[in-house]
Amino acid sequence: MKWETVIGLEIHAQLATHSKIFSGASTAFGAEPNTQACAVDLGLPGVLPVLNSEVVNMAIKFGVAVNAHIAHESVFARKNYFYPDLPKGYQISQYELPIVGEGQITITPEEGISKVIGITRAHLEEDAGKSLHDQFTDQTGIDLNRAGTPLLEIVSEPDLRSAKEAVAYARKIHSLVQFLNICDGNMQEGSFRCDANVSVRPQGEEKLGTRAELKNINSFRFLERAINFEIERQIDLIEDGGEVVQETRLYDADKNETRSMRSKEEANDYRYFPDPDLLPVRISADDIQHIRDTLPELPEQKRQRYVEELNLSEYNADLLSGSRDIADYFETALAEAPDLASVLANWILGDLTGALNKSEMAFTESPVSPQQLAGLLKRISDHTISGKIAKDVFEAMWNGEGDADDIIERKGLKQITDTGAIEKMIDEVIANNPDQVEQFRAGKEKVLGFFVGQIMKQSKGKANPGQVNQLLRDKLKS
Amino acid sequence: MTLKREDVKNIAHLARLNIDEGAVDRYAADLSRILELVDQMNQVNTDDVMPMAHPMDASQRLRADEVSESNQRDKFQAIAPDVEIGLYRVPKVIE
C-alpha cells in the first residue's frame, strides 16, 4: 500500500528580551543556577505577573511577517500540571484567544518548487525551569533561571508531507525570527525548539491517522531523522496489523530512534482557564500599523532586491537571503565595495562558504571579515592581482596574516604589468620550446595554452593572463 | 451534571490532593450540587452578551523590558528544604 505522511510542527522560539515575560529578572543565558529566578518566577505567595511590552511587540512582528490576523484582544490562561521545574503548578500560556491567528509562509523544499504552509496560530507563554538529573545520584536538581523566559509557540497546520518539507519549514521560520530580531535562533542553547506531530494514512484517504508527538529535537538534521524514523515505525506497525497510539515520543539521537514517554499520558488534562492575575491584552490597529511600518527588510524582500537592483542570479539571491548571518555578511561587504555585488556573491557562496564548512564555523565566526573580503575583491577588480593569486591572499587572510593590501605588499604579489618584463619571459619560453612554436605556427592553436601556462609559472602567477595572451600571439605570429 | 466517584478521584489526582476513600461520595454529592448551579446559570440566554475573560473591564498594563531584579538566591534558598550547589533538590524525577 502507498502511504502518505502528514506532519505538523510546533516551534518554540525563545523571544530575545532582556527580562522575563512576567518579571524583571534577567534572561541572559549561562548564569549560575537560580541567580536569575526572582519571587515571581519562583511562584512565591503574593506576587503578581506584569506583562513585558517587548514580548507583545515581538509577537506582533512575527504575526505581521506571516500575514496573520493579530488579535485585538488576547487572553492568558493557566495550563495546570505538576512538575518540579514548574513552581506555580501551572504554566501561563494562551489557549482560546492567542495573540497571533491564522497566517502562512512559503517554503522551497527543493530548488524551483515552492509550497504555502498554513500557520494555525502563535501564542505567548512562559518557559519552565530545568531539571538536572545527572548532578546527584538519587535526586534531581532544579535550576529555575529559565522559568518565566518568554516563548512564542508557533503551530503549523498539518500541511507538511515529508521530513524534507518539515525541515524546509522549520528553517524558514528559524531564518524569519532571526531577521525579525525576535529570537537568536540558537538551537544548542534551546532558544529554538521543534516538536513534530507525525501520522500516516493510506494515499487518497481524507481522514487523518493517529499521530505521535516527537519531542527533544535540537537540530534540523535530527528533525529530519526523527521524522523519517517515526514514519517507518508507524508504517511497519500498521502493516503488521498493529495500531498507532496517540502519545508523546522522545527522540534519542544516539540510537536514532523514538521511544514512548509513558508518564505524559495521564497528565494530558490541563484544565485551562483564564488567568485571573492577568487582564486581557488589547492591541490597537495603530499599534499594529506602527509595527508593520517599522519592520526590518525580510528575506523575501531581500531576495527580490538582490535580483532586481544588484542583478544577482535567482539562485545566489536565494542563498544570500536565506539566513540572517549570510545576508548581514554580504551587505556589510557590499557597503565597502558597492560595485562588486556579483563577485562578492560568488566568493561568499564559493570560497568562503567552502572554508567555513570545512572548519565547521558559522558566518559570524569567519576569520575573514566582510571588510577584508571586500578589500581583496577590490584588488582583483582594479587588476592589482589576478583571480588566481587572490585565492592565496584569501588563504593568508584566513590564517590571520592581515588585510589583503598588507599581504599583497609583504609577499610581493602585485601583478606584473610591465610589458618589458613579460616580453622577456615570453622570449625565453619561445627560445626554449622550438617544437611547440612549430606546432603553433602550423595552426595548432591549443599550444597557446601551454605557453601561457609556462609564463604564469615563471611569473609565479603574477603576470596578467590577458596581457600574456596578447603579447604571446603577437610574438608567435611575427 | 452529576459527578461520579471516579471523576472525583481523577480530579483529586490531577490536583495532587489526597482524599479519604470514605469522603469520596460526599465530595461527589457536594460538587454535583455546584455543577447543578452552573447548569441553572446556563439556562440564562446570553446571546447578546460578550463573554469576559476577567470581571474587570480593563486591559493589561505593560511594563518596559528592563532587568529590575537582582540576585537574591541566598534569601530564597534559606527557606528551601534541600539545596545543594545552588540547585533546589527534589526526589528523582526522570523518564
Taking the Cβ of residue A47 and every Cβ of chain B, the question of whether any pair is shorter than 8 Å is answered with: no
**Are the beta carbons of A98 and A71 closer than 8 angstroms?**
yes
Residues 107-146 on A with a CB inside 8 Å of B are: 131-133, 135-136, 138-144
| DSSP state, residue A279 | P
Residue A471, pLDDT score: 84
Q: Is A146 exposed, middle or buried (0-12, 13-18, 19+ CB in 10 A)?
A: buried
Which pLDDT score, from 0 to 100, does residue A382 have? Answer: 87
Secondary structure of chain A: what % helix, strand, coil (to 5)?
40, 20, 40
Residues in A 341-380 with any Cβ partner in B closer than 8 A: none
Question: B95 vs A250: CB contact, 8 Å cut-off?
Answer: yes
Residue B15 lies in a domain: yes
C-alpha cell read off for B12: 483529586
Domain assignment present for residue B10? The answer is yes
pLDDT attached to residue A263 = 55
- Give the nearest chain B residue to A55 (CA atoms): B65
- Split into its structural domains, chain B has a count of 1
Q: What is the pLDDT of residues B46-91, one digit of tens each?
A: 999 888 878 888 889 999 999 999 999 999 999 999 999 999 999 9
Of A38, A142, A263, the CB nearest to B90: A142
pLDDT of A117: 97
What is the structure's pLDDT at A268? 65
Which residues partner with A411 through β-bridges?
none
**Among B16, B83, B51, which residue's Cα sits nearest to residue A267?**
B16
pLDDT given at position A272: 94
A136/B62 touch (CB, cutoff 8 Å), yes or no: no
Q: How far is A50 from chain B (nearest CA, A)?
A: 6
In chain A, what percentage of residues exceed pLDDT 90? Answer: 70
- The conformation of residue A450, written as its DSSP 8-state character, comes to H
CB contact under 8 A, B14 and A37: no
Contact residues of B toward A, CB < 8 A? 10, 14, 16, 53-54, 56, 58-69, 71-73, 76-77, 82, 84-95
Q: Alpha-carbon Rg of chain A, whole angstroms?
A: 30
Residue bearing cell 506531530: A197
User: How do residues A345-393 score in pLDDT, each as one tens digit?
Assistant: 999 999 999 999 999 999 999 999 999 999 999 999 988 888 888 999 9
DSSP A295: P
B53, part of any domain = no
Domain assignment present for B51: no
Residue B30 belongs to some domain of the structure: yes
- Condensed to tens digits (0 to 9), the pLDDT of residues A11-51 reads 999 999 999 999 999 999 999 999 999 999 999 999 999 99
Residues of chain A with pLDDT under 50: none
Residue A43, number of CB atoms within 10 A of its CB: 16
Residues B16 and B19: their CA atoms lie apart, in Å, by 9
**Candidates A15, A36, A139, partner chain B, best to mutate (most B CBs within 10 A):** A139
Q: How far apart are CA B92 and CA B94, in angstroms?
A: 6
Structural domain span for residue B17 = 5-42
Q: Give alpha helix (H) positions in A263-337.
A: 285-293, 299-308, 314-320, 324-336
Q: Cβ separation of A24 and B66 shorter than 8 Å?
A: yes
Q: What residue in A sits closest to B16 (Cα-Cα)?
A: A82
Element (H, E) at B90: strand B87-91
Kindly list the distances between the CA atom of residue A156 and the CA atoms of A123, A169, A258, A401, B65, in Å, as whole numbers in the listed order.
12, 9, 22, 48, 29
Return the closest-CA partner of residue A131 out of B91, B78, B73: B91
| Percent of chain B with pLDDT strictly greater than 70 | 98
Residues spanned by CATH 1.10.10.410 within chain A? 419-477
**Could you tell me if A149 lies within 8 Å of chain B, comparing CB atoms?**
no
Whether residue B82 is contained in a domain is answered as no
| Site from B84, B87, B92, B94 to mutate, A interface, most A CB atoms within 10 angstroms | B87
Q: How many angstroms separate the CA atoms of B86 and A4, rounded? A: 50
Q: Which of A268, A276, A270, A267 is nearest to A76 (CA)?
A: A276
Angle at A178 between CA A172 and CA A179, to 5 degrees: 85
The CA–CA distances, whole Å, from A176 to A187, A198, A293 equal 15, 24, 17
Of all residues in chain B, the one with the smallest CA distance to A35 is B71
For A263, the closest of B82, B91, B95 (CB atoms) is B95
Task: With beta carbons less than 8 A apart as the criterion, state whether A13 and A183 touch.
Answer: yes
- Do A391 and A351 meet the contact criterion of CB atoms below 8 Å apart? yes
Q: Which residue in chain B is spatially nearest to A19 when comparing CA positions?
A: B67
Q: What is the pLDDT at residue A266?
A: 56
CATH of domain A419-477: 1.10.10.410
B95: in domain: no
> Which residues does A411 contact at the CB level (< 8 Å), separation at least 6?
A396
